[in-house]
């Protein structure tokens, strides 16, 4: 792996969770290309699952597909209202829009603008655990009152599982868990239906194909597969996961449009709100264009070595 990896630095089109430059590692194994791309601030321990996923995809057979295409949702970051159309144009045919929000007061206009663009769209509001129970109750009541027929679910409205459980008891709105799953992988997921209605899984953060499929089986809730702002290599593997689980819900796997450019030969083209599930390979011209500096290459090499040295990954190579 260390002999065959590239470090890329790709600018983003918008400020996405504070990121203007996405750094990733791309490498190749006997079962295809893979990506290792934990965010730079993540600790060595938090990056282990990302490494397990990356190695498994390159060195182990992938699960059997149940479908050849995956429905995707549009992803709308917090942007100026005049940029909403440009962002949503990146997702032709998508019938669901995921919007990052902080509060009703700050973001109701953003939701309204998205619905001006797509009046029949279903809306997913992603809070990233930003509300306590009281704020969640207040904001959900206001969003529901204004947009009730369009809200599909609220994603991670509270950070704490205990608050999610109480929130589920007092609201009829559907609640989805993201961080509560990937940051609590020792949780008894057979009980998750007491806390939320929908589970969001990400290929790298949960540890790869096998780990995600096992989680989905334990959780027994509708599943949405989402990306972690990966390149077409990583998103392509997320698409494979979604198609192997066979989820019918739109997935958050159309995010390469948030990067300045993708780096694969086989574009993740969105047609009628779907992306085809195929094997994807790096385009060498794009690899050369977005190759990171020598300093960043050395930083990532050290990080890869530290993560590999911090756990037992032999089973993935043997």
Q: Which of 202, 218, 220, 301 is catalytic?
A: 202
pLDDT at 318 over 70: no
In percent, how much of the chain has pLDDT > 90? Answer: 86
What average pLDDT does range 80-91 have in this prediction?
94
Dihedral sign computed on CA atoms, order 151, 134, 18, 211: negative
* CA 69 – CA 298 distance, rounded (Å): 38
pLDDT confidence bin for 208, thresholds 50/70/90: very high
Q: Which of 48, 71, 100, 113 is catalytic?
A: 100
User: Is 166 among the residues known to form the active site?
Assistant: no
pTM of the model: 0.93
Question: What integer pLDDT is reported at residue 18 of this predicted model?
Answer: 74
Question: What integer pLDDT is reported at residue 312 of this predicted model?
Answer: 74
Helix (H) or strand (E) holding 147: helix 133-147
CA 309 from chain center: how many Å? 26
For residue 90 the two structure tokens come to: 């990146």
Question: What integer pLDDT is reported at residue 286 of this predicted model?
Answer: 97
Picking from 167, 223, 179, the residue whose alpha carbon sits closest to that of residue 198 is 223
Helix (H) or strand (E) holding 71: strand 69-71
199 touches 227 (CB < 8 A): no
User: Is 168 among the residues known to form the active site?
Assistant: no
CA angle 243–244–246, rounded 5-degree value: 60
Phi/psi of residue 137, nearest 5 degrees: -60, -45
Q: Which residues pair with 11 in a beta bridge?
A: 21
pLDDT at 317 over 80: no
């Amino acid at each position: 792996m260390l002999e065959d990896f590239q470090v890329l630095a790709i600018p983003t089109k918008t400020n996405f969770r504070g990121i203007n430059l996405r750094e990733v590692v791309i490498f190749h194994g006997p079962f295809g290309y893979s990506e290792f791309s934990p965010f730079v601030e993540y600790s060595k321990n938090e990056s282990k699952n990302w490494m397990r996923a990356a190695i498994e995809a390159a060195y182990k057979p992938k699960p059997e597909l149940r479908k050849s295409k995956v429905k995707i949702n549009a992803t709308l970051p917090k942007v100026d209202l005049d940029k909403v159309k440009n962002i949503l144009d990146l997702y032709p045919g998508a019938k669901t829009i995921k919007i990052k929000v902080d509060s009703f007061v700050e973001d109701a206009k953003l939701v309204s603008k998205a619905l001006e663009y797509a009046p029949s769209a279903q809306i997913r509001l992603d809070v990233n655990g930003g509300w306590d129970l009281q704020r969640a109750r207040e904001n959900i009541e206001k969003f529901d009152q204004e947009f009730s027929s369009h809200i599909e679910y609220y994603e991670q409205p509270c950070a704490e599982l205990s608050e999610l459980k109480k929130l589920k008891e007092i609201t009829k709105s559907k609640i989805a868990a993201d961080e509560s799953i990937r940051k609590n992988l020792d949780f008894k997921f057979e009980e998750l239906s007491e806390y939320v209605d929908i589970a969001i899984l990400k290929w790298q953060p949960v540890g790869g194909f096998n780990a995600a499929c096992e989680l989905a089986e334990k959780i027994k809730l509708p599943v949405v597969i989402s990306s972690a702002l990966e390149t077409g290599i990583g998103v392509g593997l997320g698409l494979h996961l979604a198609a192997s689980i066979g989820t019918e819900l739109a997935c958050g796997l159309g995010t390469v449009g948030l990067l300045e450019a993708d780096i694969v030969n086989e574009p993740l083209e969105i047609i009628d709100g779907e992306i085809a599930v195929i094997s994807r390979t790096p385009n060498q011209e794009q690899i050369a264009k977005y190759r990171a500096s020598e300093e960043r290459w050395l930083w990532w090499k050290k990080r890869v070595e530290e993560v590999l040295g911090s756990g037992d990954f032999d089973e993935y190579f043997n």
